[in-house]
Structure 1
Amino acid sequence: MPDDLGFDKLLDDDGLVARLLGKTRAGRNRKPLYGPDLPVVLLVGGPGTGKGRFLRCVRGEFGRHVPTAHIDCGLPVYREQAEQHPQTRSVPTEVLREVARQFGAWQGDGGAVATPRLYAGLAAVAAGDPLADTATLVSEVQRHDELLPRGSFWRGVLNRAGRAYAGVVAGLVAHPGAVPFINAVLDELLARTSQEGKAALAACYGEYTGAGGHPKLGLHSLASHFQQGGEAREVAEGFLFRALRQDIEAAYVSLLGRLSRAGRPALLLDHADNALGRRLLRPVLEDRERGHHDRLVVMATARREDGGRFLYHVGGTAGTNDDAPVSWRPSDGGLPQWSRPVGGVPGLTPLSRGVLLVRMPMLTRDQQSRETARLQARRALGDNAAQLRIDSGIHRLSGGRPLFVIRLGEATAALTFREPGAGTDWDLLDARVRSGEDAAGRPVAELLLDDLVVRQPPEELPPEQRGHWLDLLSHLSVAHDVECAQVLMREVQAGRDERLSAYRIAELLRDSGWPHCPRHFIGDLGLRRLLMRRLYRLRAYGAAWHGDHTLLRDHYRALEDDAADELFGSAAAHGMHHHLAVGDAETVTDYLDRTFLTRSARVWCDELLAVAEAPLLGRTDDRRARALGEAEVTGDVRHKRIDRLLHAVRLCEDRTEPLDEAVTDALPKLLERLGEEPAAGAGTLTQTARDWRDRLAGKQPLRPCTCTRHIG
């Protein structure tokens, strides 16, 4: 898989990344965008949109030319390291230490980026536990020895006394004194620091709360706040990040840095919409709002389309429209114009003012075709139609979501259909991916659910619900609005002490970056198909699938037939949709025949479309035969026409296979013939038939919605 698949406009020589970093992929200089006040760049997109892959591409391509650190905020290693000594470590300090280590390993132009300010702060924190024994404290301080000065890169901040200082710290374990350990460490540190180094530490830690310009007091206060935990610890962690950014800035503004360094350094934070990511991003945004500018390009990923709730609320109050972040898509063309809005009081304005939202690009049809062509050995000329069948199915299921395209392309590489028109999208999802010793492999649908759902649960999902999350979503794949979903959730979770309401699940899905569709509870077509497939296989013979549809059918049948239903027009129509899903087409035809004379033509057509959207799983597919009048159906002429129309619409709206030309030709004619009945609304039926004919000619859904708008 090409790492840069779909990222052309972001990564080219005059693209956003090159202009942010001041370097192209080949190492040529580019005039940097913005500055000295830089935005935090949030790459936003739901699961499978390539955010992490993009950061890895930036690290691999641009990291050869500018210092670059890459952190996955979702990895447990930082938490595990912090838990070993929670009094002197935290998850953010472990991340900052790793960032400093990566910058210290830079071997490009200008050499390693030294981090003496961060070292001083981490050493103070490591020495600050008043209850630990001296040996433990010495060990904690020595953990950071790799951040100590090494030769001329440190340019006198600790001059050439670093080794002597480290030796004194090590000696404290053998000769503990009456002076508090942190005092001994800081005294030795400052005693062996050059005048230049003292000035640097004073400029940094002298600004800490209560320091009054004295670095030792600032370091003491920082260590004390860290020991207090809670909000005080977060303040200390945020200041340590500022110290790191000042170290990076110093590496560029020094005489050597001005002569040898070009471009801007980058910090890449994957999965940055979790608690750790927010604790890292917040102090950067707050500092820059207060005028503490630096040249570090911070690129972070977030699943929510708006970047995350923490950006928008100060004291529980949302910001104004003027504070909304600049939002940009690569397809917009040009480069985003960003500047911080004028005015605003630091601490009282939303953090979103300092953010540039970059929406991850979906793959175009051409990009999808090129990728599937690369992944699959093209068939002989006689099989081109079958190959186009696979390509169209991948497009429908993926909606351009890169992970779908890649996984399905790999899985269907060896898939063939005996006839060009054979096979459905369900067959694509059944295609197996073989790896390792597993000769049979796993269906690609299962791998996609692992990638998109199991490995990316919502952060706020209660621990006791994590084992049920995929099951809950599977049941909800047949739901429409949240009220419909709540009926299912009451039944599915009956008997459990801890339950999730459909309203809360909808929030969790939005937080996970899944789109919202007003007509489907699971608002992404590909994800909904994956979950439907799983629901059908959840119990033998599709029992769970039939049980859910039957439950909803009975629920809406118990209501008044004409009870208002926002999506279906009436409760009766909503119930008929679920009748159809469980295979009871005769009852649905009877209902449509009965209401043809009692509903207005417009309302009747709308109900027909809503009812006929019901998917078909696990049953013999006789829809084409019935749509073309090739099946035996009892009833009068109008009843038979309505039955044909119902099945023609159902085939056209199902969209798990390419449109059948015979069906699309017949459908408008069937609707027009209903206008021959001695009933009002013939003109509406004729107009609707023409509209449907136009939509079918463009291969578009008859009733398009958010999750099907890409089809066409």
Structure 2
Amino acid sequence: MSDDLGTGKLLADDGLLARLLGKTAKGRNRPLLYGPDLPVVLLTGGPGMGKGRLLRRVRDDFGRYVPAAHVDCAAPVFRERAGQRPATRSAATEALRELAVQFGAWSGDGGAIGAPRLYAGLVAVAAGDPLASPAEGLDEVRRHDVLLPRGTFWGGVLHRAFRAYLAALGALLVAQPLATPMITAILDELFERTSAEGRAALEACYGAYSGAAGHPRLGLHALSVDFQQGGEARANAESFLFRALREDVEAAYTSVRGRLARAGRPAVLLDHADGALGRGLVRSVLLDREGGHHDRVVVVATARRADGGRFLYRSADGSGDAPAAWSPGDGGLPAWRRRPGGVPGLAAPARGVLLVRMPTLTAEQQNHELARLQGHGRDEGHQPGEHAARLRVESAVHRLSGGRPRFVTRLGEAAAALRVADPAAFTDWTLLDVPVRSRSAPDAPPRPVAELLLDDLVVRQLPEELPPEQHGHWLDLLSHLSVAHDGDCAQELLRVRQGGRDERLSAYRVAELLLDAGWPYCERHFIGDRGLRHLLMRRLYGMEARGTGLRADQELLRDCFARRAATAAAPEERADALFGTAAAHAAHHGLAAGDTEGAVDRLTRSFPARDTSRSMADWCAELLAVAWSPGRAPLTGARGARRARALGETPACGDDVLRRRVDRLLHAVWLYEDRSGPVDPAVTGTWRQLLDRLGDEPVPGIEVLTRTAGEWAERARERQPLLPCACTRHLG
């Protein structure tokens, strides 16, 4: 995918990022946006929306002209390094150390940015392990030598040579055991060789630590002790270390040399910041800035939840503390400003956040990317029939991707490897079955693109709060839930599919985990993203031979709701939130399982001419609910058979005229709502005729049929779903 696909407005010369950083991607100066109080920018969007790609683009392009340090908060390396010495390391200290190393490697205008304040804090933490031997303690201290800036800058903090300081640390090993605790000896050496300028810097930083009363040694001791205690005390120490790093960066800009040589603003880029590590780092910046401790570091982080994450909300002030939100499609630039008022320490951190919603790709952007991946122009060099095949592929990508960039990229790779022999037989599932090579494992055998997408979007992005014992079952559970509609429906599936396990998840907990993982909510589908639902349904179809697993889940739900309908004592007890009645819900799943006759029987019996308790409006709504996107496409290659039934070319059996008409209408609506292939005008053209013929029955409400025919025809002309929901509104 071209790196700026879908994010051009964010990366433009007058876009949000250029105005925040004060530099364009080509190095030209731009007026600074906001300041000195800066928001933390959270890029929000579910899996595959391009958040990490955008951060890498900022690092690679803007990072040539302003210092930009980037870490992936989900990278296992930070936890692994912390696990080697848990008493003196944590994932947060390892991430901060990596940020400092990157700032120290900056070679642009103004030169490297040293981190003496962070160094002092990390040294205090490293020397604070009371159980470490002197040799182990000094090894841990000297591990941070890489943070000591070379050249003249460090002379302002240590007035002896850099090598002399390191030699002094090594000399502490001469007398064993040490006459004083390790941390005291290390800090004595540090302050012994610190110049007046350096002492002032450390006093201003660590003298402000809780309980230090302006004395930097006490502050460093207290920070080390807090880190050793763990829990909330360690979190406070980690938060202060991030402040120390930002003060190091700020000092590099406010020094005499910095004011002359540096322009723009530096950036800290935190990918996958909605995990524990990222939340801690983001929270520390938010609390500092809420308390008036401002700096010029532009913090851009990513979060999968649309609201940025539940950790932002901890105040009783209500919606007034909700973060500001903006999308590139809104136009202009966000006019962010911290809301005045609020009690320090009690105001919600969300006040300091600017949520930037990652944009989905337009149809034009998707088509451009498909053409690029397929390596050809839009209208040149096509063989006869290739144009029709290309249009089929493009429409499939639009339907499946919903504009999600990762979907478009993967499906575009599959389209490049696909040769459509018969465009009329092509469906969305044809594209999902195309084998492609994984970019992360190019030597591995090609796999169906649907499997690669599930790896990208689900397996590698598990919800943080998913219990470890469920990691191996998560994809299986979601596959079964691809046929569910609401929590009630999903709970019935999970009750059966988790029957042999001690550790179980409820459907309502799964819904929370999906939301936390960044997947959207849909009022009519439990899996609220249409593309993900198709991937999971395809996987469910392949879990057992010939789709028996998918059919079994549909039959399970059919039987469940049929029992509810049969045991109901009164009509109102048969109510169903989505389908009107439990019987209609059962007929829907029966149709998805292949029981077309049962669905036709249900609709024929409930037609107002035969069930006088039903109104015509209710019957039309039930017809639509039964036929609505039942997900049977993978179970049949029989779109042609359904088309013949809808057009009356293969008439239904029996002499019941009403039943035959209902049969044709059901198949016509079902085929349209399937939407795994293009809309067939011949099928939609039958609706008015079929609905009018139903009016031959002498029953009140005939005018409803005429009105319904007009409404459906209008939707069909725009290729819109007859029963729209959150995850199908992009269809057209």
The CA distance in 1 between the partners of 2:424 and 2:263, in whole Å, is 57
Q: What corresponds to 2:664 in structure 1?
A: 644
Q: What corresponds to 1:154 in structure 2?
A: 154
Contact map agreement 1:417 1:423 (CA 8 A) in 2: yes
- Pairing of 1:406-425 with structure 2 (within 5 A): 406-425=409-428
The CA distance in 1 between the partners of 2:193 and 2:490, in whole Å, is 67
**Structure 1, 258-267 or 591-600: larger mean CA deviation:** 591-600
The CA distance in 2 between the partners of 1:438 and 1:681, in whole Å, is 65
Call closer, same or farther: CA 1:437–1:450 in 2, change over 3 Å: closer
Q: What corresponds to 1:62 in structure 2?
A: 62
Q: What corresponds to 1:582 in structure 2?
A: 593
Q: What corresponds to 2:286 in structure 1?
A: 285
Call closer, same or farther: CA 1:696–1:155 in 2, change over 3 Å: farther
Describe the SS at the equivalent of 1:151.
coil
The CA distance in 1 between the partners of 2:266 and 2:443, in whole Å, is 43
Call closer, same or farther: CA 1:572–1:328 in 2, change over 3 Å: same
Describe the SS at the equivalent of 1:42.
strand
Call closer, same or farther: CA 1:440–1:266 in 2, change over 3 Å: closer
Q: 1:533 aligns with which of 501, 520, 538?
A: 538
The CA distance in 2 between the partners of 1:447 and 1:84, in whole Å, is 33
Call closer, same or farther: CA 1:94–1:332 in 2, change over 3 Å: same
Q: What is the CA distance between 1:155 and its match in structure 2?
A: 5.5
- Pairing of 1:622-701 with structure 2 (within 5 A): 622-634=641-653, 635-701=655-721
Q: What is the CA distance between 1:437 and its match in structure 2?
A: 7.6
Q: What corresponds to 1:45 in structure 2?
A: 45
The question of 1:456 aligning with 2:456 is answered no
Describe the SS at the equivalent of 1:25.
coil
* Post-superposition CA distance 1:409-465 (Å, at most 9, x none): 001113222333221101110011036786961100000001111111100000001
Q: 1:615 aligns with which of 623, 631, 634?
A: 631
Q: What corresponds to 2:13 in structure 1?
A: 13
Contact map agreement 2:604 2:658 (CA 8 A) in 1: yes
* Post-superposition CA distance 1:110-146 (Å, at most 9, x none): 0001111011111111111122110011101100111
The CA distance in 2 between the partners of 1:55 and 1:579, in whole Å, is 47
The CA distance in 2 between the partners of 1:106 and 1:30, in whole Å, is 21
Q: What corresponds to 2:371 in structure 1?
A: 373
**Structure 1, 130-139 or 427-436: larger mean CA deviation:** 427-436
Q: What corresponds to 1:211 in structure 2?
A: 212
Q: What is the CA distance between 1:586 and its match in structure 2?
A: 1.1
Gap regions ≥5 residues in structure 2: 377-381
Contact map agreement 2:432 2:450 (CA 8 A) in 1: yes
Q: What corresponds to 1:565 in structure 2?
A: 576
* Post-superposition CA distance 1:505-555 (Å, at most 9, x none): 000000001000010000000000001101111111212111111111111
- Pairing of 1:490-529 with structure 2 (within 5 A): 490-529=495-534
Amino acid at match of 2:458: V
Q: What corresponds to 1:109 in structure 2?
A: 109
The question of 1:465 aligning with 2:480 is answered no
The CA distance in 1 between the partners of 2:578 and 2:143, in whole Å, is 61
Amino acid at match of 1:406: T
**Structure 1, 331-340 or 557-566: larger mean CA deviation:** 557-566
The question of 1:250 aligning with 2:248 is answered no
Call closer, same or farther: CA 1:161–1:217 in 2, change over 3 Å: farther
Q: What corresponds to 1:592 in structure 2?
A: 603
Describe the SS at the equivalent of 1:298.
strand
The CA distance in 2 between the partners of 1:372 and 1:454, in whole Å, is 25
Describe the SS at the equivalent of 2:42.
strand
**Structure 1, 134-143 or 585-594: larger mean CA deviation:** 585-594
The question of 1:601 aligning with 2:616 is answered yes
Gap regions ≥5 residues in structure 1: none
The question of 1:186 aligning with 2:205 is answered no
* Post-superposition CA distance 1:228-278 (Å, at most 9, x none): 111111111111111111000000011100000000000111111001111
The CA distance in 1 between the partners of 2:244 and 2:132, in whole Å, is 26
* Post-superposition CA distance 1:265-321 (Å, at most 9, x none): 00111111001111111111100000000011111110011000100024xx4x422
Q: What is the CA distance between 1:615 and its match in structure 2?
A: 2.1
* Post-superposition CA distance 1:481-527 (Å, at most 9, x none): 10010000000000210100001000000000100001000000000
Q: What is the CA distance between 1:325 and its match in structure 2?
A: 0.6
The CA distance in 2 between the partners of 1:42 and 1:663, in whole Å, is 47
Contact map agreement 2:483 2:631 (CA 8 A) in 1: no
- Pairing of 1:116-195 with structure 2 (within 5 A): 116-154=116-154, 156-176=156-176, 177-195=178-196
Contact map agreement 2:651 2:660 (CA 8 A) in 1: no
Q: What corresponds to 2:271 in structure 1?
A: 270
Call closer, same or farther: CA 1:684–1:446 in 2, change over 3 Å: same
Q: What is the CA distance between 1:227 and its match in structure 2?
A: 1.1
Contact map agreement 1:113 1:153 (CA 8 A) in 2: no
Q: What corresponds to 1:321 in structure 2?
A: 319
Contact map agreement 1:78 1:95 (CA 8 A) in 2: yes
The CA distance in 2 between the partners of 1:252 and 1:437, in whole Å, is 44
Q: What corresponds to 2:305 in structure 1?
A: 304
Q: 2:389 aligns with which of 386, 390, 402?
A: 386
Describe the SS at the equivalent of 2:70.
strand
**Structure 1, 155-164 or 136-145: larger mean CA deviation:** 155-164
The CA distance in 2 between the partners of 1:643 and 1:160, in whole Å, is 92
Describe the SS at the equivalent of 1:41.
strand
The CA distance in 2 between the partners of 1:414 and 1:214, in whole Å, is 67
Q: What corresponds to 1:547 in structure 2?
A: 552
Contact map agreement 2:104 2:149 (CA 8 A) in 1: no
Describe the SS at the equivalent of 1:631.
coil
* Post-superposition CA distance 1:191-249 (Å, at most 9, x none): 11111111110000111111111111111111111111111111111111111110000
* Post-superposition CA distance 1:298-349 (Å, at most 9, x none): 11110011000100024xx4x4222111101110100111011111112212
The CA distance in 2 between the partners of 1:159 and 1:433, in whole Å, is 60
Contact map agreement 1:111 1:153 (CA 8 A) in 2: no
Q: What is the CA distance between 1:673 and its match in structure 2?
A: 2.4
The CA distance in 2 between the partners of 1:646 and 1:382, in whole Å, is 32
Amino acid at match of 2:631: P
Q: What is the CA distance between 1:87 and its match in structure 2?
A: 1.0
The CA distance in 1 between the partners of 2:149 and 2:456, in whole Å, is 43
Q: What corresponds to 1:349 in structure 2?
A: 347
Amino acid at match of 1:367: Q
Call closer, same or farther: CA 1:133–1:461 in 2, change over 3 Å: same
The CA distance in 2 between the partners of 1:569 and 1:553, in whole Å, is 15
The CA distance in 1 between the partners of 2:703 and 2:105, in whole Å, is 75
Q: What is the CA distance between 1:89 and its match in structure 2?
A: 1.0
RMSD (Å) for aligned C-alpha atoms = 1.3
Amino acid at match of 1:163: R
Q: Percent identity?
A: 65
TM-score by length of 2: 0.95
- Pairing of 1:331-346 with structure 2 (within 5 A): 331-346=329-344
The CA distance in 1 between the partners of 2:680 and 2:689, in whole Å, is 15
Contact map agreement 1:149 1:162 (CA 8 A) in 2: no
Q: What is the CA distance between 1:58 and its match in structure 2?
A: 0.8
Describe the SS at the equivalent of 2:69.
strand
Q: What corresponds to 2:379 in structure 1?
A: none
Contact map agreement 1:103 1:112 (CA 8 A) in 2: yes
- Pairing of 1:91-106 with structure 2 (within 5 A): 91-106=91-106
